[in-house]
């Protein structure tokens, strides 16, 4: 059935007058496409002309005709709105086609009727065209002496406004204002612009500002950017209205906690409480939305909700004190910190970010609360299945991908075959690298790579190291959080020790509840594992992100300014890029507390021994 939207139902000037007609197939159907189509033989509508390449899309008409002249009614009348045979979205022709279609849609909306399907298809296409606009930053002149990292897509990102905050961002009369206002870019509020357009705006517009004084005859260019931004806002608004009914609802308490999501010492325990035991569901949804993954990979909101709920259940299966849904949410949030606060997200493609976030979410899925060593020593079925190698990690990945085979949970159903393969490989690499037995090798490899003259850091290796560090990051968080995590982990270890005793197996390290030096073990864990890991990770991030930072210093960077420290290495422009490292102070504080605790514990033990055995024998020469 083709539904029609009449003009009064779709009045952008009236906030209360929401779009009443649902898209065909129900809420969220705007995302729907055939499940995982095979890769197309040639670029076509909705695809890019080349995979992962950099493209400057310029309107082909920008030189030939005045940009301020919109298409005539006659031109619009002749427009065929079919979307099957449109040019690839990252080609100049696509820009013209998309603009013409937006004009047409605008006219039809004002006039009266337009089919929902036509509206959706054409908006989808226009949105994809806008998303495909990248700026080729690799052509920026670099200092000759500056080491060049491997060619990389510079894609300065802004995270999306969380869906739970959108209602306060949208203003009822904005569409009218946008239609009427003067051609001033300064009037376009950054928060009102969809991220894809903001990226474009940030690089293109600010670069224009940075160049020498603009000549008066360049004004049309300036105007065309403003037009495009408005078109972007317009597309995003309509798209959101068509899909927003299906977005998950966030309880007020959850919203309150999620407002601090960008902080290093985010309180995931508070989220657990506020979400009534479902931190993954809300945090996972919020993160994938903020990074634009729901939109980019056409994830249906209900499918995402299903997937996250199943993952959450899997984490609760064995009622583990430590390896549970809270730990997964904690690691995912820490990965988010690394992505957004260091600027790592600007070095990664959408697919790599998607894979990294999902890897963090599933990395301990269905953890049994026992270690790999326990699985091997007790000869568990899982150890048998995976031949004693990375037993748990193999299970986490396999079980998560098995879940994705059910259509109702399959958040990857709209990925192309190539995208799916790349995503899967990345997730497998990352989760396998959380196996602690790989720790020293992983650190050693990265450390020696970074000593080379011009290291080329593999993306998969980089995100794997980041995930591994986030996985063991709680000793680098605020004391109250770290202490709680440690106690939970020890509870879990001691439960394993109880099982080992029952089975007549030797105790694994830290698993004997009567003979474990807690404070000392934590000092050792910080000194030998966590601190060196964070150091190598920071060195790696500073190395790979340095060139990105220096090439955009004059433009609007999406890396928050207060997240960057720059150390002046000379009087000139020679500055070394440094990321903010909130973990350094936390590690120091926590170690100090553990040391005090260790001293006290030693005194208590000595006292206890004295009570039991009497005073220690005096030395003969005393």
Q: How far apart are CA 122 and CA 116, in angstroms?
A: 10
Decide if residue 522 touches ligand AMP (CB under 6 A): yes
Per the CB < 8 A criterion, the answer to whether 261 and 373 are in contact is: no
CB 261 within 8 A of CB 336: yes
Rounded to a whole number of angstroms, the minimum distance from the CB of residue 434 to ligand AMP is 4
The yes or no reply on residue 330 touching ligand AMP (CB under 6 A) is: no
Q: How far apart are the first and last CA of the chain?
A: 100
Of 323, 367, 396, 468, which residue is the catalytic one? Answer: 323
Give Cβ neighbours of residue 162 (< 8 Å, ≥ 6 apart): 258, 286, 289, 290
> Any catalytic annotation for residue 323?
yes
Report, in Å, the least distance between residue 534 CB and ligand AMP: 13
- Nearest distance from residue 473's CB to ligand AMP, in Å? 9
Binding of residue 479 to ligand AMP (CB under 6 A): no
Under DSSP, is residue 577 helix (H, G, I), strand (E, B) or coil? strand
Picked from ligand AMP, Zn ion, none, the partner binding residue 438 (CB below 5 to 8 A depending on kind) is none
Closer residue to Zn ion in complex, CB, 175/469: 469
Q: Quick one: what does residue 83 bind among Zn ion, ligand AMP, none, with the CB cut-off 5 to 8 Å set by partner type?
A: none
* 131 part of the interface to ligand AMP, by CB under 6 A: no
Exactly one of 434, 442, 533, 557 binds ligand AMP (CB under 6 A); which one? 434
| Torsion angle (degrees, nearest 10) of CA 58, 60, 65, 68 | -50
Complete DSSP assignment for 477-497: S-HHHHHHHHHHHHHHHHHHH
Q: Which does 294 bind (CB under 5 to 8 A by kind): Zn ion, ligand AMP, none?
A: none
DSSP helix/strand/coil, 232: helix
- In the numeric block, which tokens belong to residue 9? 């139902």
Confirm or reject binding of residue 450 to ligand AMP (CB under 6 A).
no
Give bridge partners of residue 437 from the DSSP assignment: none
Q: Does residue 429 bind Zn ion (CB under 5 A)?
A: no
Q: How far is the CB of 429 from ligand AMP (least distance, A)?
A: 15
What Rg do the C-alpha atoms of the chain give, in angstroms? 28
From 178-186, 196-204, 232-240, 520-528, span contacting ligand AMP (CB under 6 A): 520-528
Neighbours of 604 (CB within 10 A): 10
Name 566's bridge partners.
Answer: 577
For Cα atoms 433, 437, 438, give the angle at the middle one, nearest 5 degrees: 40
Nearest 10 degrees: CA dihedral of 474, 476, 477, 479?
100
By CB under 5 A, residue 492 contacts Zn ion: no
Structure tokens at 340: 């957004």
Is residue 364 near Zn ion by the rule CB under 5 A? yes
User: Is residue 47 part of the contact set for ligand AMP (CB under 6 A)?
Assistant: no
Q: By CB under 6 A, tell whether 429 contacts ligand AMP.
A: no
Q: Bridge partners of 115?
A: 4
Q: State the SS3 of 390-416.
A: CHHHHHHHHHHHHHCCCHHHCCCCCCC
What are the φ and ψ backbone dihedral angles of 145, each rounded to 5 degrees?
Answer: -80, -10
How far, in Å, CA of 98 to CA of 117, rounded?
Answer: 16
Q: How far is residue 375 from each of residues 256, 298, 378, 401, 435, measured CA to CA in Å?
A: 40, 39, 5, 21, 14
Find which of Zn ion, ligand AMP, none residue 486 binds, CB within 5 to 8 Å per kind.
ligand AMP
Residue 96 bridge partners (DSSP):
none
- Can residue 364 be called a binding residue for ligand AMP (CB under 6 A)? yes
Q: With contacts defined by CB under 6 A, how many residues of the chain interact with ligand AMP?
A: 11
Span interacting with ligand AMP, options 123-131, 451-459, 467-475, 593-601, rule CB under 6 A = 467-475
State how far the Cα of 330 lies from the Cα of 320, in Å rounded to an integer.
Answer: 15
Q: Measured from the CB of residue 365, what is the shortest distance to Zn ion in angstroms?
A: 10
Question: Which CB, 370 or 555, lies closer to Zn ion?
Answer: 370
CB of 327 to Zn ion, least distance (A): 6
Our finding on whether 486 is near ligand AMP (CB under 6 A) is: yes
Residues 488-507 that bind ligand AMP (CB under 6 A): 489
> Is there binding between residue 410 and ligand AMP (CB under 6 A)?
no
Query: In the bound complex, what is the minimum distance in angstroms from residue 369's beta carbon to ligand AMP?
Result: 10
Among the listed ranges 88-96, 300-308, 519-527, 581-589, the one in contact with ligand AMP (CB under 6 A) is 519-527
Q: How far apart are CA 549 and CA 555, in angstroms?
A: 10
Using an 8 Å Cβ cutoff, are 376 and 391 in contact? yes
Q: Which residues contact 376 (CB under 8 A, 6 or more apart)?
A: 383, 388, 391
Instruction: Give Dmax over CA atoms of the chain in angstroms.
Output: 111
> Residue 525 interacts with ligand AMP (CB under 6 A)?
yes
Q: Which residue has the tokens 């300036």?
A: 222
Question: Using CB under 5 A, which of 312, 471, 500, 531 touches Zn ion?
Answer: 471
Q: Which is nearer to ligand AMP, 331 or 353 (CB)?
A: 331
CB of 486 to Zn ion, least distance (A): 14
Min dist CB 472 to Zn ion, Å, is 8
Q: Choosing among ligand AMP, Zn ion, none, which partner's interface includes residue 488 (Cβ < 5 to 8 Å by kind)?
A: none
Closest separation in Å from C-beta 188 to ligand AMP: 44
Among the listed ranges 255-263, 283-291, 400-408, 518-526, the one in contact with ligand AMP (CB under 6 A) is 518-526
Q: Which of ligand AMP, Zn ion, none does residue 369 bind (CB under 5 to 8 Å by kind)?
A: none
Question: Of the listed pieces 72-80, 228-236, 256-264, 468-476, which binds ligand AMP according to CB under 6 A?
Answer: 468-476
Which tokens in the block code for residue 481?
């959080």
Instruction: For Zn ion, give the closer residue by CB, 364 or 422.
Output: 364
Q: Which helix (H) or strand (E) holds 4?
A: strand 4-5
Binding residues for Zn ion (CB under 5 A): 364, 471
Binding residues for ligand AMP (CB under 6 A): 364, 434, 436, 471-472, 475, 486, 489, 521-522, 525
**Residues belonging to the active site:** 323
């Amino acid at each position: 059935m083709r539904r029609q939207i009449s003009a009064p139902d779709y009045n952008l000037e009236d906030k209360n007058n929401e779009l009443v007609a649902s898209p065909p197939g129900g809420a969220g159907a705007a995302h729907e496409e055939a499940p995982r189509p095979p890769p197309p033989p040639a670029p076509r509508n909705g695809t890019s002309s080349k995979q992962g390449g950099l493209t400057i899309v310029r309107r082909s008409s920008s030189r030939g005709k005045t940009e301020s002249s919109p298409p005539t009614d006659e031109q619009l009348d002749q427009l065929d709105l079919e979307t099957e045979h449109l040019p690839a979205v990252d080609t100049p022709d696509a820009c013209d086609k998309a603009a013409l279609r937006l004009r047409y849609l605008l006219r039809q909306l004002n006039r009266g009727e337009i089919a929902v399907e036509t509206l959706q298809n054409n908006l989808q296409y226009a949105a994809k065209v806008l998303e495909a606009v990248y700026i080729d930053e690799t052509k920026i002149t670099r200092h000759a002496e500056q080491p060049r990292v491997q060619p990389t897509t510079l894609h300065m990102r802004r995270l999306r406004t969380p869906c739970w905050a959108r209602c306060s961002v949208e203003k009822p009369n904005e569409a009218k204002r946008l239609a009427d206002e003067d051609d001033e870019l300064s009037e376009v509020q950054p928060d009102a612009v969809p991220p894809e357009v903001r990226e474009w705006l940030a690089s293109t517009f600010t670069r224009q500002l940075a160049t020498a004084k603009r000549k008066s005859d360049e004004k049309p260019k300036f105007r065309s950017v403003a037009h495009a931004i408005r078109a972007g806002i317009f597309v995003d608004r309509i798209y959101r209205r068509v899909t927003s009914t299906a977005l998950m609802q966030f309880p007020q308490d959850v919203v309150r906690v999620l407002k601090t999501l960008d902080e290093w010492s985010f309180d995931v325990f508070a989220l657990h409480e506020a979400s009534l035991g479902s931190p993954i569901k809300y945090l996972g949804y919020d993160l994938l939305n903020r990074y634009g993954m729901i939109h980019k990979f056409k994830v249906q909101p209900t499918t995402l909700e299903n997937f996250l709920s199943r993952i959450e259940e899997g984490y609760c299966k064995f009622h583990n004190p430590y390896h549970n849904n809270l730990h997964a949410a904690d690691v995912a949030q820490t990965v988010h910190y690394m992505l957004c606060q260091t600027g790592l997200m600007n070095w990664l493609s959408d697919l790599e970010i998607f894979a990294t976030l999902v890897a963090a979410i599933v990395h301990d899925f269905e953890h049994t609360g026992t270690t790999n060593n326990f699985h091997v020593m007790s000869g568990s079925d899982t150890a048998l299945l995976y031949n004693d190698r990375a037993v748990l990690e193999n299970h986490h990945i396999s079980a998560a991908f098995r879940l994705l085979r059910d259509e109702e949970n399959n958040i990857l159903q709209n990925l192309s075959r190539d995208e799916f393969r790349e995503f899967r490989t990345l997730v497998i690499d990352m989760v396998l690298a959380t196996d602690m037995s790989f720790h020293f090798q992983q650190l050693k490899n990265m450390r020696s790579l970074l000593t080379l003259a011009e290291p080329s850091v593999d993306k998969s290796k980089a995100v794997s190291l980041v995930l591994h560090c986030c996985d063991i990051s709680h000793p680098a968080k605020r004391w109250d959080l770290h202490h709680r995590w440690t106690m939970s982990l020890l509870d879990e270890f001691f439960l394993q020790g109880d099982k080992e005793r029952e089975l007549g197996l030797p105790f694994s390290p830290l698993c004997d509840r009567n003979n474990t030096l807690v404070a000392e073990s934590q000092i050792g864990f910080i000194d030998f594992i966590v601190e060196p890991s964070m150091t190598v990770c920071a060195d790696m991030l500073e190395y790979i992100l340095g060139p990105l930072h220096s090439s955009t210093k004059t433009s609007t960077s999406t890396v928050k300014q207060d997240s960057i420290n720059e150390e002046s290495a000379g009087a000139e422009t020679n500055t070394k890029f440094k990321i903010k490292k909130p973990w350094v102070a936390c590690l120091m504080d926590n170690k100090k507390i553990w040391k005090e605790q260790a001293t006290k514990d030693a005194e208590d033990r000595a006292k206890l021994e004295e009570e039991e055995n009497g005073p220690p024998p005096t030395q003969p020469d005393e």
